[in-house]
Structure 1
Amino acid sequence: MSAQFVADVGGTNIRLAQIDNGQLCHIKKYLCADYQTIAEVIKVYFAEFPEVKFTAGCLGVACPVTSDAITMTNNSWKFSIVELQADLELTWLGVINDFTAVAYAVTVLDNNQKVQIGPGKAVDGENIAVFGPGTGLGVKHLTPSTNGWLALDGEGGHVDFAAVDDIDVAILKFLTNKFGHASAEEVMSGRGIVHIYQAIAEYKGVTAPLDEAADITESALNSSCDLCVATLAQFSRVLGSFAGNLALNLGTRGGVYIGGGIAPRFTDFISESDFRARFEAKGRFKDYVADIPTYIITEPDHGLIGAMAYLNQNCKG
């Protein structure tokens, strides 16, 4: 029996799955540190299914993909795409950035795998924006082409942080004093939550005893700390402003999606925050963005789903 496979390759874990009738199955997770090479762990996965002949695959990897030579950012793995394909005896192998996989996932997610925040209706076949606060800030745009969806590469997470209100200005000053530059990633990420917390504390002249994003978030969600609530509220506002900027950049009438590991943890909080108000606060172009929908991706396997969507579109073998 022949089959295709996909993988979501991070710095710590690699998750692999098979594709069966357009669905993921046999999802397994391995520690990257337990294996010398990526080929070794993929072969271990293959060996668990001796009745299957794997013919094609797609890997979403947490590092830049600009040539045949792949060097993982947060583990020691290095490999050649061409050599890995030959080693695994595949007729086709796709390797894409892990956030590119997130972007392709949004083209196939159903309403049970995402939550819409605010009004708006997606227009089929129109541009889409995707961003994801996590360890860093990933940003992608998708645009339709004659061959299907095309992901536009860039480093949108490192654009200048754009301040909108007085608290934003305080955050901007805090980051500029600390780093000499205030990027969007230093606000919309795990460490960004800490930066917002510290900046608001400095602005209000109060102490900031916490130093972990998880602790700040937990204290905000259980309303045990006013400073933490203010932090998460400002984080949600900043998300909204950034999402609105992405919508303007490419006219994303197909929607703006938030992925990554942070936002799905407090979807209800974001929904009840000023996120959508800030998304639409675009002056003369308020009406332009008002009809564009915004979503949070809640599907935990969206990286694998995106790799599958990319494989389905591009593998012709």
Structure 2
Amino acid sequence: MNAAIDQPDRPASVSTTPFLAADVGGTHARVALIQVAQDGGRAVEVLAYRKFACGDFGGLAELLQAFVDDEVQAPVRRCVLACAGQLMGDEVLNDNSAWPIHLPSVRRALALDDLAALNDFEALGYALDNPLVCGGRLLCGPDRHADGPTLVIGPGTGLGAAVRLSGPAGGCVLATEAGQMDFAPHSIREREILAQLVPDGGYLPCERIVSGPGLLTLYRTLCALHGTTPWLATPAAVTAAAMACSDAQATEAVEVFCAALGSFAGSLAMAYIASGGVYLAGGFLDSMFGLLARSDFEERFLHGRSVRAFLSQVPVWVTEHGRQGVLGAARWYLGRGTSAATTPRPAAAGGPAP
């Protein structure tokens, strides 16, 4: 999703007063009141922070207003949104969103002078530049932070991905819709799963397998293949059963999920020559780190032939999502500079294909 701005009257500086930063996913939204730290630049301070369930609100404007009512003492007139999905004109398109997002409507409802938007994983890319700062745990590869492009990948309600390119002023981040790429089965079992999900052939996006809902889909599909009745109703329940070794289909579902994630991450690492490493973001993966470490993730990530030598030098970390999305959005918002601030840019009609 290309970054977009709905800003009719933006002043030359956004650094003098606090502003809202929100990280809006398919299930949860994280909202913060941000101000520039005393040392200036793009360092920021979080004055207030809350996490909301999107389903508890009728729309994004209502969710943001609830935060303002509870946490903000003085009027706030600026906001940056990190949204899961792709921007088309003034709309954010996302099959997994709790509700449509129309930027001008949100701006009017909150009486904002300036509303900016970027992809949620693009925002993570601006935040996750140091695995130690972000509390990352090394999953595989060398324990060092190399130079070069860095990938941020996160299976949650959907499957997001972005690539960070190094450069002046923190470099730049490219949003992607890599989660919408065709799923490619690697094993006989994965071919059976694919045939069960699309019996007449056709398109199956990677996020249909590699996501929270995808894990539940795998479990139910494997139950169908084994002729058993599924009794687990959530991705968390499937993960818990796999950890406890209390359900064979749950265990197999997690194994297939981890292996497919390894193939997906390795393919993107090859495509972008991600020598700077790969971050797997989100509490979902952090909670199942042990299962991931014991799985076929690393073997599938490494692929084969000559590319294996390169991928074996690419570190892969698992890191908690947490506040990183709102912090990355805030850094991007401040980093556009005064020239961008005084020159309105039209919203792009499309962007690179979370």
Q: Say yes or no: does 1:102 pair with 2:124.
A: yes
CA drift of 1:75 comes to 1.8
CA drift of 1:208 comes to 4.0
Q: Residue 210 of structure 1 is aligned with which of 225, 231, 239?
A: 231
Alignment correspondent of 2:11: none
Alignment correspondent of 1:88: 112
Q: Say yes or no: does 1:17 pair with 2:22.
A: no
The one-letter code matched in structure 2 to 1:8 is D
Partner of 1:283, secondary structure, is: coil
> C-alpha distance in 1, partners of 2:303/2:286?
23
* Percentage of matched positions with identical amino acids: 25
CA drift of 1:7 comes to 1.4
CA drift of 1:263 comes to 1.4
CA drift of 1:140 comes to 1.8
Partner of 1:277, secondary structure, is: helix
Q: Say yes or no: does 1:122 pair with 2:137.
A: no
> C-alpha distance in 2, partners of 1:161/1:107?
28
CA drift of 1:222 comes to 1.2
- Provide the alpha-carbon RMSD of the alignment: 3.2
1:106–1:56 distance in 2 versus 1, CA, 3 Å: same
The one-letter code matched in structure 1 to 2:132 is D
Instruction: Tell me which of the two structures has the higher relative contact order, counting C-alpha pairs closer than 8 angstroms and 6 or more residues apart.
Output: 2
Q: Say yes or no: does 1:75 pair with 2:99.
A: yes
Give aligned pairs, total: 312
Q: Residue 262 of structure 1 is aligned with which of 275, 284, 302?
A: 284
Q: Say yes or no: does 1:224 pair with 2:241.
A: no
Alignment correspondent of 1:242: 264
> C-alpha distance in 1, partners of 2:61/2:285?
30
Alignment correspondent of 2:180: 158
Query: Is there any run of 5+ residues in structure 1 with no aligned partner, and where?
Result: none
Alignment correspondent of 2:196: 174
CA drift of 1:293 comes to 0.7
Partner of 1:80, secondary structure, is: helix
Q: Is the 8 A contact 1:58 1:94 kept in 2?
A: yes
CA drift of 1:83 comes to 5.3
Q: Is the 8 A contact 1:68 1:80 kept in 2?
A: yes
Alignment correspondent of 1:193: 215
1:70–1:181 distance in 2 versus 1, CA, 3 Å: closer
Decide which moves more: 166-175 or 53-62.
53-62
Q: Residue 251 of structure 1 is aligned with which of 251, 269, 273?
A: 273
Q: Say yes or no: does 1:141 pair with 2:169.
A: no
Q: Is the 8 A contact 1:68 1:81 kept in 2?
A: no
Q: Say yes or no: does 1:8 pair with 2:29.
A: no
Q: TM-score, normalised by structure 1?
A: 0.83
CA drift of 1:108 comes to 5.2
Alignment correspondent of 2:303: 281
Q: Is the 8 A contact 1:39 1:84 kept in 2?
A: no
Q: Is the 8 A contact 1:81 1:95 kept in 2?
A: no
1:42–1:288 distance in 2 versus 1, CA, 3 Å: same
> C-alpha distance in 2, partners of 1:186/1:174?
13
> C-alpha distance in 1, partners of 2:294/2:305?
22
CA drift of 1:81 comes to 8.6
CA drift of 1:310 comes to 1.6
Q: Is the 8 A contact 1:197 1:208 kept in 2?
A: no
1:68–1:146 distance in 2 versus 1, CA, 3 Å: farther
Q: Is the 8 A contact 2:60 2:106 kept in 1?
A: no
Decide which moves more: 103-112 or 245-254.
103-112
Q: TM-score, normalised by structure 2?
A: 0.75
> C-alpha distance in 2, partners of 1:136/1:40?
21
